[in-house]
């Protein structure tokens, strides 16, 4: 079977080596005589897999000892509610920076819980850039400051993070976690749906500073960080297959050379496509301003709607998958997460150049 050149935004490409290993272990995991999907989540075999995933993430991201790693369900979308329910106390305000649709959704849910404020936004400019950290009008007594580190729909990414002092910095890193080295100690909470850089859909990683985990019996148990922390994320039956695949992806990341090596490759992948856009004499136009460009999601348009339709038709016929832009803004988008090989990005760049030449030639002939 020929593997697709997968540029889906999520669920997204998984490393081939991970899929092959899972295939080899599909019927017999840890010599148990069972598939991982058949294991009891209380068994020694699964406990080993579960703890390995947590410890490997701590190692790769250099997570300090005063942080807890939780493996939860509900996607990043559930965290939009869990975060304010757990740390937005009465009399406090939660500050939000709006940089795209997902930060808007996070704010919408927080408003249902308590007082919020928008302290910086690029909405008026169709989210083409990330606000400067110096433009954030943060309340020094805020419960937390929330950002979305990478914006899949608009193709923007934070290049530096705000210094928040005693205010916890909370970041939705669903689409760029593990793609570059970060200082975890700068954050109060980092959360990420796994289906872009960490594994399949169904599992959400939450990295939370331990002092932010407090007992509150008014919060429903499934939404309470304290409950999940005390039970090592095994309060209820977890998504065992997703956790197993998460552990394999983290092993793969280590084998590639860790976050530093992945970041280097990601820069090369992004450069190949952005260079093609920049050297196209305006045939391709990137949505994001150059200093806010994402290394995970490259968003762009073509001169006309007709040209875009033809491009998307031909690129699909050539074996490239998932290049349609988000339905809310249209255009084109190449999601180039960790598991997307550099070779696929180089092939896409070559296709884009070839398409421009052939389409422009046809336009000239028509005239």
Which token pair is 239? 């998504």
| Mean pLDDT of all residues in 201-214 | 98
Where does the pLDDT of residue 2 fall: very low under 50, low under 70, confident under 90, or very high at 90 and above?
Answer: confident
Q: What is the pLDDT of residue 327?
A: 86
- d(C-alpha 129, C-alpha 303), whole Å: 21
Residue 44 has pLDDT above 70, yes or no: yes
Considering the candidates 95, 158, 172, 269, report the single residue annotated as catalytic: 172
Mean model confidence pLDDT for the chain: 97
Considering the candidates 58, 196, 252, 269, report the single residue annotated as catalytic: 196
| Listed residue (329, 299, 67) closest to 175, CA to CA | 299
* pLDDT tens-digit series, residues 121-150: 999 999 999 999 999 999 999 999 999 999
- d(C-alpha 16, C-alpha 260), whole Å: 20
| Mean pLDDT of all residues in 231-241 | 97
| Listed residue (127, 117, 175, 122) closest to 148, CA to CA | 175
| Mean pLDDT of all residues in 180-209 | 98
Alpha carbon 201 to its chain centroid, in Å, reads: 11
First to last CA, the chain: 43
Residue 221 has pLDDT above 60, yes or no: yes
- d(C-alpha 200, C-alpha 284), whole Å: 32
* pLDDT tens-digit series, residues 9-19: 999 999 999 99
* pLDDT tens-digit series, residues 17-31: 999 999 999 999 999
Q: What is the pLDDT of residue 363?
A: 73
Domain extents in the chain: 16-255, 258-366
| Mean pLDDT of all residues in 163-176 | 98
Contact 105, 263 (CB under 8 A): no
**Percent of the chain whose pLDDT exceeds 70:** 99
Contact 302, 311 (CB under 8 A): yes
CATH number listed for the domain at residues 258-366: 3.90.1150.10
* pLDDT tens-digit series, residues 267-276: 999 999 999 9
Q: What is the pLDDT of residue 364?
A: 65
Fill in the DSSP letter of residue 185.
Answer: G
Q: What is the pLDDT of residue 365?
A: 66
CATH topology for 16-255?
3.40.640
Catalytic, 172? Answer yes
| Mean pLDDT of all residues in 148-176 | 98
Whether the link from the prior residue into 11 is cis, omega within 30° of 0, is yes
Considering the candidates 58, 95, 102, 158, report the single residue annotated as catalytic: 102
Fill in the DSSP letter of residue 361.
Answer: H
Which token pair is 315? 């690129």
* pLDDT tens-digit series, residues 74-83: 999 999 999 9
Which token pair is 13? 């490409």
Residues in the chain: 367
Residue 366 has pLDDT above 80, yes or no: no
Catalytic, 26? Answer no
- d(C-alpha 296, C-alpha 182), whole Å: 15
Residue 367 has pLDDT above 70, yes or no: no
Q: What is the pLDDT of residue 361?
A: 81
| Mean pLDDT of all residues in 256-260 | 98
| Mean pLDDT of all residues in 226-247 | 98
Catalytic, 196? Answer yes
Annotate 33-60 with b (16+ C-beta within 10 A) or e (fewer).
eeebeebeeeeeebeebbebbbebbbeb
Contact 151, 333 (CB under 8 A): no
């Amino acid at each position: 079977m020929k593997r697709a050149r997968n540029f889906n935004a999520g669920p997204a490409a998984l490393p081939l080596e991970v899929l092959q290993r899972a295939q080899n272990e599909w019927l017999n995991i840890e010599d148990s005589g069972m598939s991982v999907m058949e294991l009891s989540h209380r068994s020694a075999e699964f406990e080993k897999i579960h703890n390995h995933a947590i410890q490997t993430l701590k190692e790769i991201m250099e997570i300090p000892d005063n942080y807890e790693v939780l493996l939860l369900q509900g996607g990043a979308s559930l965290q939009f509610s869990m975060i304010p329910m757990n740390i937005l106390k009465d009399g406090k305000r939660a500050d939000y920076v709006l940089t795209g649709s997902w930060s808007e959704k996070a704010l919408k849910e927080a408003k249902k819980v308590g007082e919020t404020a928008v302290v910086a936004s690029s909405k008026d400019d169709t989210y083409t850039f990330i606000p400067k950290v110096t433009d954030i009008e943060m309340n020094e007594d805020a419960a937390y400051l929330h950002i979305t580190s990478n914006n899949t729909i608009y193709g923007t990414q934070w290049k530096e993070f705000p210094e928040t002092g005693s205010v916890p910095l909370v970041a939705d890193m669903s689409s760029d976690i593990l793609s570059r080295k970060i200082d975890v100690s700068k954050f109060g909470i980092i959360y990420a749906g796994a289906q872009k850089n960490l594994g399949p859909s169904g599992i959400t990683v939450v990295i939370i500073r331990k002092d932010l985990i407090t007992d509150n019996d008014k919060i429903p148990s499934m939404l309470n960080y304290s409950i999940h922390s005390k039970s090592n994320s095994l309060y209820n039956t977890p998504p065992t297959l997703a956790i197993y695949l998460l552990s394999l992806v983290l092993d793969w990341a280590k084998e590639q050379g860790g976050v530093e090596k992945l970041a280097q490759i990601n820069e090369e992948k992004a450069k190949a496509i952005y260079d093609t856009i920049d050297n196209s004499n305006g045939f391709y136009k990137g949505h994001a301003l150059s200093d806010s460009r994402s290394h995970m999601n490259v968003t762009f348009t073509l001169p006309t709607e007709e040209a875009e339709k033809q491009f998307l038709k031909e690129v699909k016929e050539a074996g490239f998958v998932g290049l349609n832009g988000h339905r809310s803004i249209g255009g084109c988008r190449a999601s180039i997460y960790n598991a997307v090989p550099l070779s696929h990005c180089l092939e896409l760049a070559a296709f884009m150049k070839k398409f421009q030449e052939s389409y422009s030639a046809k336009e000239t002939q028509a005239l």
